[in-house]
Amino acid sequence: MALTAERTAEPVTGRAPERPTGRRDTDGMAVASFVCGLLGLLVLNIFLGPVAIVLAGLALRRGTARRGRALLGLGLGVADLVVLASLVAMDNTVSWGVAG
């Protein structure tokens, strides 16, 4: 009678098995999109608006569980650019401030 080793699905390497982090990453992108879009209404909307749009698009494409938050981030990113465009049209300059 020969002794045989049982084959397992995962090789024994002495470390914990890795968990898939794809879902957590996309959920984080959705939240980051929302936060960037919200902050972009107040400061740096020329930078934070497009960042919010890109992060929301990536999160939605990868199938985030926080779809509503990604859609809000997308809407806020677009709103950032609309606010910037209206303020630029009023002042005829690219920069603007809260003080006026």
What are the Cα distances from residue 47, in Å, to 22, 28, 41, 60?
26, 19, 11, 20
CA 15 to chain CA centroid, nearest Å: 30
Residue pair 33/55 in contact by the 8 Å Cβ criterion: yes
Domain borders along the chain are 22-91
Looking at every residue in the chain, the average pLDDT score rounds to 79
CA-CA distance, 71 to 69, in Å (whole number)? 5
Angle between helices 22-40 and 45-61 in degrees, nearest 10: 150
pLDDT in tens, 1-46: 566 655 555 555 666 445 455 567 888 889 999 999 999 988 888 8
